[in-house]
Amino acid sequence: MSKVRIIDVAREAGVSLGTVSNALNHPERVRPDTRRSIEEAIERLGYTPNQSARMLRGGHARALGIVVPQLAHAAILQVVNGANTEARRLGLDVLVAYADNLETQRRHLSFLQGSQMAGVIVMPVDDAWRAPANPAVPIVTVGAVREEAGWYVAEDHRAQGRIVATHLIARGCARIAVIGSARSARMLRRLEGIRAAAADRGVELEVLDAGDRAVSGDGYTLGSALATRAADERPDAIIGLTDVLAAGAIDGVLAAGLSVPGDVAIAGCDGNPFAWCGPISLTTCAPLGYELGRRAVQTLVGLIRERAEQQERAARDARTLTLPHPERSRKTAPARGEVGGPQYADGAPDADERDEAHRELVRPFLLVRESTVAGAGAKEGAAAIPERNVGAYL
Amino acid sequence: MSKVRIIDVAREAGVSLGTVSNALNHPERVRPDTRRSIEEAIERLGYTPNQSARMLRGGHARALGIVVPQLAHAAILQVVNGANTEARRLGLDVLVAYADNLETQRRHLSFLQGSQMAGVIVMPVDDAWRAPANPAVPIVTVGAVREEAGWYVAEDHRAQGRIVATHLIARGCARIAVIGSARSARMLRRLEGIRAAAADRGVELEVLDAGDRAVSGDGYTLGSALATRAADERPDAIIGLTDVLAAGAIDGVLAAGLSVPGDVAIAGCDGNPFAWCGPISLTTCAPLGYELGRRAVQTLVGLIRERAEQQERAARDARTLTLPHPERSRKTAPARGEVGGPQYADGAPDADERDEAHRELVRPFLLVRESTVAGAGAKEGAAAIPERNVGAYL
DNA sequence: CTGAAAGCGCTAACAC
DNA sequence: GTGTTAGCGCTTTCAG
């Protein structure tokens, strides 16, 4: 059973320990027949190299970690899929951990760092999350941006709100109701974008609170309430700050006997395929999770390479100077207050010190569909056969 | 930056190395104020314990690994969610790896075993996959059962086919068309169940090939083909061996101008919420992924405990007998041919030897909805507000 | 190719 | 509480 070590394999194959290690790590250094008999021994014993020992000895991890707040969300799955695909393309594996609270997230992050992952991607579970100042491995934050130092990749929520509102205004809508929840930072930022667009064109805006949960039922309730107003007090468009709310609003408006988009045009903002099951296809922003995941990995791999070069350089310098004990680059961390602003060590900008926040925003684009433009779905093909697998969007 | 070690923390806090280790692993052995200053030092330096060193030293992992073939599938997400929830309940963390081919799967499995995970759950990517004979850590296979030794948790696919067919037959259907793909073992097993049910009642069965991809478009094509037949050659029911096929078939039948379930009743088999976006709610089996994930973890934790007790016992025995070097239980693996049958070592059944296949099948149950019983959806509540978030099913 | 040995960072056990 | 130490399994190096 377990606890087969390299020495056991060596004995079984009748070779020395070092030869087995070579066969595993430098196959070319071992004669083919020797290698074969070693492989057979490994197979016979069910040997699995102890990764802890390997990493401890100084190996380089070929895996990235990603910490996400949940899996039952389309955008998150897209991020994970995008990250995985891009990482595999670059020859890296991905391990996913999920954490529905700050404490668990902190533990996972610490575990992945301590497990010598090459790097870690984090989708914060909570707006209160802060990236660690001196991570043991590079960290990229996805889906949120902060003021603190760190690397961030996120959707541009303001732009999402803006392009959705602009689309509706261009279609002639003059009274727009927005439904959403103030508790979510991303919904608030979408609202800012909508406000900006509306202010530019002098469009009347009304904001309704969907409550903390903001499920589709809340959209339904608000949608039907709006639809039962007198015609001259009724908005001609509704924006859901999430697609789930917008999809609920469509149901609510239809249930009240009005038509979509004839009486009321409705649009979402966050491109969530899980909400696209309604009777009328929803105008919204295209899902960008996949792209976010890809970019996060690209950013991360850049950081990993940078760090590797840095360490190599440090090692080389140490060797060149023939220091008896190549001093560890164990600089004490900067005090809390110093983090955040750009810092320069004695004149030359050092990669270590370049710890300002790097924010990459992914530009949204609009999916125009039937909920704002009658017949927009027909664009997809004359005799379109509907795809009934939401998984295809992930 | 990186490479902060425990000794660095000790120096920073002005205590000894052992005290820091104690503060981390046995906080009660350290005075509160000492502990506090150590925590501050950790925070200041950004120290992250090296998990590799920890594990190597002999720690017990508090994490399970799970290897899945993809994430864009509802059943798989349910398994992961179920496993995660149950594991967290038992105080374990879960790491997810995904592998879309045998080679990647093998690598992930090996990595997770080598990383001292407490145990590993595998959803095979391919019917050709075999569980390793002598895993370094316990392994439970989910979603497939094999003849080989090992632990398996899976849906009872035959029973799925049987209860769906039985339901349709009870509703009066006498000519059933089944659509599916012969390449999938689980579809074939569902077909067996359907055949058994049909044979019992003398119902006529017709099987149509949906091709290798078996996407909803294939269901659409076959559904509309069946619907355009003359009335006396037309089946009165269609079973999709997956929900995606059944959902496509509904679209196809409706497009051909027939009604569902009036002219043709339609049912799925695999409880896939991602396919539940159609205009008519689908009768199918309830999704069991969550339950599979839970049971897999329970089984796994049982195996982990068993193994731990075993090792403890071995260690105690060795100590009692005061052997100079407590002999490692390094028994050579049984030859390939021996695996599979129950084996007993010299009379006493040894847990090590008990390597028969343990198969746990989860019993399916039916969700009766509108695609087989008109108005069945109304059961869900008089003024039901539709839920527009498929993620809620995951 | 063999055999021997250093050391990765940590935990736990030891004597003080 | 402190300081010191063995050893987890592996990779790599060095001399033969």
On chain A, the residues whose CB falls within 8 A of the CB of B81 are 71-72
DSSP string, A105-119: HHHHHHHHHHTT-SE
User: Would the CB atoms of A328 and B277 count as touching at under 8 Å?
Assistant: no
- Cα A180–Cα A186–Cα A190 angle in degrees, nearest 5: 65
Whether A345 has a pLDDT exceeding 90, the answer reads: no
Q: How far apart are CA A69 and CA A108, in angstroms?
A: 11
Strand D-contacting residues in B 233-272, CB cut-off 7 angstroms: none
Residue A378: pLDDT band with limits 50, 70, 90: low
pLDDT of residue A78: 97
Whether B354 has a pLDDT exceeding 60, the answer reads: no
Question: Residue B198 corresponds to which amino acid?
Answer: A
Tell me the average pLDDT across A219-232: 97
Q: Is strand C within 7 Å of residue A277 (CB)?
A: no
C3: residue with closest CA to C1': A16
Nucleotides of D under 7 A from a protein CB: 1-5, 7-14
pLDDT of residue A249: 98
Q: Is the peptide bond before B261 cis (omega within 30 degrees of 0)?
A: yes
The gap between A210 CA and C1 C1' (Å) is 73
Q: Would you state the structure tokens that stand for residue A4, as one six-digit string?
A: 């087969």
pLDDT in tens, A278-336: 899 999 999 999 999 999 999 999 999 988 887 777 666 655 544 433 333 333 333 32
Nearest CA in chain B to A81: B71
User: Would the CB atoms of B96 and A97 count as touching at under 8 Å?
Assistant: yes
Nearest CA in chain A to B2: A136
DSSP conformation class of A350: P
Q: Are A248 and A213 in contact (CB under 8 A)?
A: no
Tell me the average pLDDT across A124-145: 90
Q: How far apart are CA A267 and CA B239, in angstroms?
A: 36
Q: How far apart are CA B339 and CA B325, in angstroms?
A: 30
Q: Give the helix ranges, DSSP H, for chain B.
A: 6-13, 17-25, 32-45, 51-56, 74-89, 102-114, 157-170, 185-201, 216-227, 243-255, 289-320
Neighbours of B95 (CB within 10 A): 25
Q: Would you state the structure tokens that stand for residue B146, as one six-digit string?
A: 């094999």
Residue with tokens 């002005």: B14
Q: How far apart are CA A121 and CA A296, in angstroms?
A: 7
Instruction: Give A334 or B107, the one with higher predicted confidence.
Output: B107
Q: Is strand D within 7 Å of residue B30 (CB)?
A: yes
User: Would the CB atoms of B48 and A278 count as touching at under 8 Å?
Assistant: no
Q: Would you state the structure tokens that stand for residue A160, as one six-digit string?
A: 């999402």
User: Would the CB atoms of A52 and B387 count as touching at under 8 Å?
Assistant: no
Residue of A111, A92, A99 whose CA lies nearest to A300: A92
pLDDT of residue A333: 32
Q: How far is A334 from chain B (nearest CA, A)?
A: 8
Q: How far apart are CA A115 and CA A227, in angstroms?
A: 55
Instruction: Using DSSP bridges, classify how beta strands A93-98 and A63-68 pair: parallel, antiparallel or unpaired.
Output: parallel
C14: residue with closest CA to C1': B18
Q: How far apart are CA B284 and CA B261, in angstroms?
A: 14
Find the distance separating the first CA and the last CA of chain A, reported in whole Å.
Answer: 40
Q: Is strand D within 7 Å of residue A17 (CB)?
A: yes
Residue B226's region, left for phi above 0, alpha for psi from -120 to 50, else beta, is alpha
- Closest CB to A49: pick one of B114, B275, B328: B114
Residue with tokens 């105080």: B91
Instruction: Give B317 or B392, the one with higher predicted confidence.
Output: B392
Q: Are B166 and B199 in contact (CB under 8 A)?
A: no
Please name every residue paired with A150 in a beta bridge, in sequence order, or none if there are none: A357
Residue B2: pLDDT band with limits 50, 70, 90: low
Q: Is strand D within 7 Å of residue A19 (CB)?
A: no
Find the distance separating the first CA and the last CA of chain B, reported in whole Å.
Answer: 39
pTM of the entire structure?
A: 0.88
pLDDT in tens, B158-176: 999 999 999 999 999 999 9
The length of chain B, given as a count of residues: 394
pLDDT in tens, B295-351: 999 999 999 998 888 777 766 665 554 433 333 333 333 332 222 222 222 233 333
DSSP string, A152-201: EEEE-HHHHHHHHHHHHHHTT--EEEEEE-TT-HHHHHHHHHHHHHHHHH
User: Would the CB atoms of B46 and A135 count as touching at under 8 Å?
Assistant: yes
Question: Residue A28 corresponds to which amino acid?
Answer: E
Tell me the average pLDDT across A205-209: 98
Residue B23: pLDDT band with limits 50, 70, 90: very high
pLDDT of residue A61: 84
* Closest nucleotide to B50: CA versus each C1': C9
User: Would the CB atoms of A116 and B50 count as touching at under 8 Å?
Assistant: yes
The sign of the dihedral angle between the CA atoms of B49, B54, B56, B62 is: negative
Q: How far apart are CA A53 and CA A58, in angstroms?
A: 9
User: Would the CB atoms of B331 and A1 count as touching at under 8 Å?
Assistant: yes
Q: List the single range of B1-10, B48-57, B165-174 with lowest mean pLDDT.
A: B1-10
- Closest CB to A216: pick one of B81, B329, B388: B388
pLDDT in tens, B67-79: 999 999 999 999 9
Q: Is strand C within 7 Å of residue B315 (CB)?
A: no
Q: How far apart are CA A98 and CA B84, in angstroms?
A: 8
Q: How far apart are CA A131 and CA A124, in angstroms?
A: 9
Q: Would you state the structure tokens that stand for residue A111, as one six-digit string?
A: 């575990």
Neighbours of B345 (CB within 10 A): 11
